[in-house]
Amino acid sequence: MGVKRIHELDYIRCIAMFMVVMGHVLLFSLKIEHTALLGIIGICEMPLFFIVSGYLTYKEREESSKETMLRLLKRSRTLLVPLVVWSVVLNILDNNLSFSLSMIYRGGYCFFYALWWCDVLNTFAVYVSKKFKFGMVVDMVLYGLIYVAILLGRIKNVDLGGILPINTIQYYFPFFILGLLIHKYEFVSNVIFNKYSYAVGVFLLIVGWYFSSVESFFIWFVAALGAVVVIWMLCREINSELKVSKMLSIVGRNTLPIYAIHYLFIVTMPSVLRDMINISNGFFFQFVITFVYAALVIFVCLFVDRILSLNPIIRMIFWGESKKRCW
């Protein structure tokens, strides 16, 4: 019997993917760096990805150590292969190919290796928890200690020769673990999602967004937590039988290739258009233009991915996957 698909998770990833592309359109196509729309995108986009990834990482059936390692190896392949390959592709197109780690990181694919490190750290935690039969409280303490180690590494600027994205893990590891705990423990899920959560989430998001100009990790985290709760609960209400829902699901199931490919289609827009929408209170115009452009880019990315995924060898080269993704 197959695992029942949780459609709301696809919708969340779809929303996050649109935010990522829209944010990059604002930054790189329109050259707009300070805007309310970009502020809310920065709050929401990556926390949504990581909380869903953490949720999907937890396996209700207890795995053997061999199964866990095989799953980590497969996960490593599907994250690190696109990281390297698409970084090289992007750098070649930019005529900036070099033989250094900075070549890979410059491509803007921090999502891949940050998520890979979350998987690695979680695999260690799962092994320790299973070995000593930890419960919810001790699990939280264990993940808390791992996060303290991440923060200490951030303070000491430990990056393992450039391969540890300590800056990004600092921000996203808590959401990855929160997603895992929501799936693993019903108590955590009930605390996060209840009849008061929507109102509290909206309040936290608005307050955090309002004070987003203050460069504070705490303010950003609180706002991001509120955004995650609000968007997750909204996605629960979407009817999966609607045609638009099926379109959202297609995007949500293919966020990895979209994330990898979309940089190739983020082109600089005419200065006249940039001047037109880079105005005070231009939130609506910026949203419409970036949303339409993002939708077009995502469609093109899906088309390119379908072509690359036709042949299993090419699919393995670009995505590290042997199995074709279903729509």
Same domain, 28 and 90: no
Q: Domain of 11?
A: 1-33+240-319
Q: Does the pLDDT at position 29 exceed 50? A: yes
Span 217-244, average pLDDT: 92
pLDDT band at 1; cut points 50, 70, 90? very low
Can you list the alpha helix ranges (DSSP code H) found in 110-216?
110-132, 136-156, 166-184, 186-192, 197-210
| pTM greater than 0.75 | yes
Note whether residue 171 is domain-resident.
yes
Q: How confident is residue 163, by pLDDT bands cut at 50, 70 and 90? A: low
**Residue 58 and residue 188 in one domain:** yes
Task: Count how many domains the chain has.
Answer: 3
Tell me, yes or no, whether 247 and 231 share the same domain: no
**Is there a domain that residue 47 lies in?**
no
Q: Has residue 49 been placed in a domain?
A: no
The CA distance from 293 to 21, in Å, is 9
Asked, for residue 111, whether it belongs to a domain, the answer is yes
- Examine the fold and report which residue of 192, 209, 226 is the final residue of a domain before the chain moves on: 192
pLDDT in tens, 62-84: 778 788 888 899 999 999 899 88
Q: What is the largest CA-CA distance in the chain?
A: 63
For residue 99, the model assigns a pLDDT of 56
Residue 151 within any structural domain of the chain: yes
Same-domain check for residues 162 and 209: no
